[in-house]
Amino acid sequence: MSKLVLDGGRLLVAPEVAAAKIVAILRKAGCCAGTADAVAAHLVDASLCGVESHGVMRVLQYAEQYREGYMKATATPSLRILDRGPVEVDGGGGIGIPAMHIAVKRACADAQISGIAAVAVRNVGHTGRLGAYAEAGARTGHLVIIIGGGGRQNWRQVAPYGGRQAVLPTNPYCFAIPGGARGPVVVDFATSMIAGGWLYAARSAGARLPDGALIDPEGRASTDPEDYFRGGAILPKGGPMGYGLALMAELICEAMLGPVTTEVNWLVLALDTTRHRAPGRMREVAEEILAELRACPPAEGFDAVEVPGERERARREAGLIEGLSIPERTWKEILSAADR
């Protein structure tokens, strides 16, 4: 599942060992025990699911952002109802993982009352792997949609379709819905060819990236993450499709939700699926659809057709037994940071 082209090797690290090191780093950075534990659990789970771009290596970026004052280690998210009625979670300039937990939980609770609900999330740093929150909401019978954007002033990462200069953030989307017998279906993607986290993962691991993901400052194709940090750009996913989705997210999350502070703004939508169909019947029909997809003969180079969300759950189960597969260089950096 990794997009890293490594020169070096990997290590298998027990999840509880990785979590302890992350907690140590975050506590020394000034986070309270609750925040440190929540962030560590989230990052370890992302790595267990094979989403390396949002996994344990992110603690190195978080520690640097705390040192630089980009995020506030002591911030506590708060929930408020605005004058015109919308519900908003204010992250207080801290890391966005606790804030996103609150937002999805509140959106699902409100949707159970009214059928559909929206919650905005503002003034937060990085929010981690969106699929984790959306899947939790889907397990309670909700369709959950998360959209992020509006941070182009600070995060010019992606070139618009037809352009060669970074203008937009990676503006991600996530959809999760109750599925069939194997659990929710979860689609979690950046609107760029790769999530921004892969750049940091490649840099910390001393790795290269796949062809077709990056351009250097002159607009030439590159696989070297350093070309991005020297002023290059990530390409939009699917050309005009990724560009259009990213632009829409920028308009939703800044033009509609308001000024962006810290990283990006978020819109969380939740819909109570039981208002439309009985849960048992929905699962039956979902399983019919998913089973048909799984039964499709695989193309050359593939073992099987997979359902989004099922791969991550299978990888998590394997990782709990085998351990986390972490690039050796990245793990050394984490150990060094924990010691410091």
250 pLDDT higher than 70: yes
Asked which of 2-16, 36-50, 163-177, 197-211 is least confident by mean pLDDT, the reply is 2-16
Domain layout of the chain by residue ranges: 10-293+302-339
pLDDT one-digit tens code per residue, 45-65: 999 999 988 999 999 999 999
Closest C-alpha among 17, 273, 236 to residue 145:
273
The predicted pLDDT at position 1 comes to 63
Of the pLDDT bands very low, low, confident and very high (cuts 50, 70, 90), residue 8 is: confident
Whether the CB-CB separation of 289 and 171 falls below 8 Å is answered with no
- pLDDT at residue 20, as a whole number: 97
pLDDT digits (tens, 9 = 90+) for 81-138: 988 889 999 999 999 999 999 999 999 999 999 999 999 999 999 999 999 999 999 9
Query: What percentage of the chain reaches a pLDDT higher than 90?
Result: 86
- Taking CA atoms, 259 is separated from 126, 150, 266, 323, in Å, by 17, 8, 12, 41
Report the pLDDT value the prediction gives residue 145, as an integer from 0 to 100. Answer: 98
Q: 4 pLDDT exceeds 80?
A: no
Most trustworthy range by pLDDT among 122-131, 148-157, 330-339: 122-131
Q: What percent of the chain has pLDDT over 70?
A: 98
pLDDT, tens digit (0-9, with 9 covering 90-100), for 284-323: 999 999 999 999 999 999 999 999 999 999 999 988 988 9
Q: What is the pLDDT of residue 288?
A: 97
> Rounded distance, CA 300 to CA 243, Å?
30
* Contact (Cβ atoms closer than 8 angstroms) between residue 326 and residue 63: no
Burial degree of 211 (CB within 10 A; 0-12, 13-18, 19+): exposed
Average pLDDT over the chain, rounded to whole?
94
**Under a CB-based contact definition with an 8 Å cutoff, are residues 133 and 184 in contact?**
no
Mean pLDDT on 172-181: 97
Amino acid at 20: A
Fold of 10-293+302-339: Ribosomal Protein S8; Chain: A, domain 1 (3.30.1370)
Q: Can you give the pLDDT at residue 197?
A: 82
| Beta carbons of 160 and 243 less than 8 angstroms apart | yes
* Average pLDDT of the segment spanning 253-281: 95
Q: Which two tokens stand for residue 152?
A: 């182009």
Mean pLDDT of 37-41: 98
Is pLDDT of 194 > 80?
Answer: yes
